[in-house]
Amino acid sequence: MKRLIVKPLMLFILAVAGFQLNGFGATPKALRIALAQVDIISSAGDFKAAVVKENITPKVPKQLLGYGARLSEGILDSIYHQILILDDGDSKFALVSTDICVLSPATYDKVAKLVEKKFGIARSNFWWSVTHTHSAPEVGAPGLPEAFMGERYQHPIDTNYTDLVIDKLLDGIEKGIQQLAPASLGVGWGHSSANINRRARDIDDVAFLGMNPDGAVDRRIGILKIVHKEDHRLMATVANYAIHGTVLGGQNLLISGDGPGVVAKYVEEKSGAPMLFINGAAGNLAPIYSVYPDARSGRMNMLRRLLGDKIIMASKEILNYEDQVSFSASEMDFLTPMKEGLKWPEALNEYIVDEKETAKTIKVPVRFLNINDKIGIWASPLELFCEISNEVRERSPFPYTFYYGYTNGWLGYMLTEEEWEYKGYEPTVSPFVPNAATRFGETVLSYLESEMKSK
């Protein structure tokens, strides 16, 4: 936190300037002199930032994650870690966006320990988010997906590629810390119609993966913009938008960042600085062009106009920046009963609590980041339905409230109680009971309103 440093010299300057601490007797000129001196002396912990981009595209065929098990046959576009390091003078924060589908919480835990040991960045200050492209290689052990879709994981874990991904991430964080420079932070909103509700229903009211124009949707874009404090050049953009990385379907065998990757590349080309794509509550949201056999038939480049241009437009509308930035990260565990009949992976035993011999409770870690008491960001390892994050944002005490999904692991889908009635794919890959989402949203709101604001 930033503190005003009051020294005897400052008090002398204020007195000479005619500024009375108990009244309003200073002349405008004297007041300007006094405030100038205060600004010079109180510059404790100026905000710094850096962004690093690391290529993690494999050079040989890999098992792709998303849809059925399949081996890649080439590369459509490169995939990356995009790493943002923030420093408010008291602590450092690392936000990573990686072009992969999902990540086991156990893999996150392993890397978080390395990050803390090597760089002194606390676990609560290290957020690893994935873009959810369905055309990138597997990383680490499967985790919870194996409990639902074991047939996809009959092959051995690719430890070599996992090690490469982890090494590149650690290298990127190290470079970012070395490259920290004085920065300013801007925040804003954008809007894009690039997504659509994917819980389609016919007259039988049974949901299937398709398009539902009448379904719930979240088309807000949450923007963080980092500029250099001295020359005001753009250093990085963070764009938060909810959309599945499924322009390409299971027939595609080329490695790709899918829609999020295309958008990040386009925004970087147009703006001159890297962009971190952070997915949102995309559990029931697909791109409007979805599940095509190749990028051309799926019109994947259309996302440059539909989403990329909207991010650029929203970024340009941000005119106010703050160079005195203070942030506070924290974590809570949301406890909820496990769905009956689910065989929980032993590797994730840290994420369950045994209450009885037959009843288990899932422990969902939720992260929070308070920036200048104006920006409230929360994150979880879930495929959350958008209605939940929409309501949290609507009722949040923070004027800018962003939800970062697919962050620090994957613990399945969390859908609204109403949507359980329509069955379909998502309930089959959810470890939760139907009323979990209502309690989850209320718990998050309570934390935002009390613990976050009180800090």
| pLDDT surpasses 70 at 404 | yes
**Residue among 201, 194, 58, 236 at smallest CA distance from 135:** 58
| pLDDT surpasses 90 at 376 | yes
pLDDT for 191 equals: 98
User: Mind listing the pLDDT tens digit for each residue in 25-41?
Assistant: 334 433 333 333 333 33
DSSP code string of 347-365: GGGGGEEESSSS-EEEEEE
Select the more confidently predicted residue: 39 or 365. Answer: 365
Mean of pLDDT values over 133-154: 95
| pLDDT surpasses 70 at 283 | yes
SS3 36: helix
Question: 128 falls in which pLDDT band (50, 70, 90)?
Answer: very high
Percent of the chain with pLDDT over 70: 89
Is residue 217 within 8 A of residue 195, CB to CB? The reply is yes
Domain ranges of the chain: 8-41, 48-316, 327-454
Is residue 343 within 8 A of residue 149, CB to CB? The reply is no
CB crowding 358-388: b at 16 or more within 10 Å, else e: eebebbbbbbbbbbbeebbbbbbbbbbbbbb
Residues of each annotated binding site: 132, 244
**What are the backbone dihedrals phi and psi of residue 242, each rounded to the nearest 5 degrees, phi first?**
-95, 115
Cα pseudo-dihedral 267, 270, 274, 275, rounded to 10:
-20
User: Mind listing the pLDDT tens digit for each residue in 232-279?
Assistant: 999 999 999 999 999 999 999 999 999 999 999 999 999 999 999 999
Q: How far apart are CA 102 and CA 198, in angstroms?
A: 19
**Residue among 41, 43, 31, 35 at smallest CA distance from 9:** 41
pTM of the model: 0.90
pLDDT for 56 equals: 98
Residues of each annotated binding site for Zn(2+): 132, 244
**Residue among 64, 67, 14 at smallest CA distance from 39:** 14
Which residue(s) pair with 277 in the sheet? 239
Mean of pLDDT values over 409-433: 97
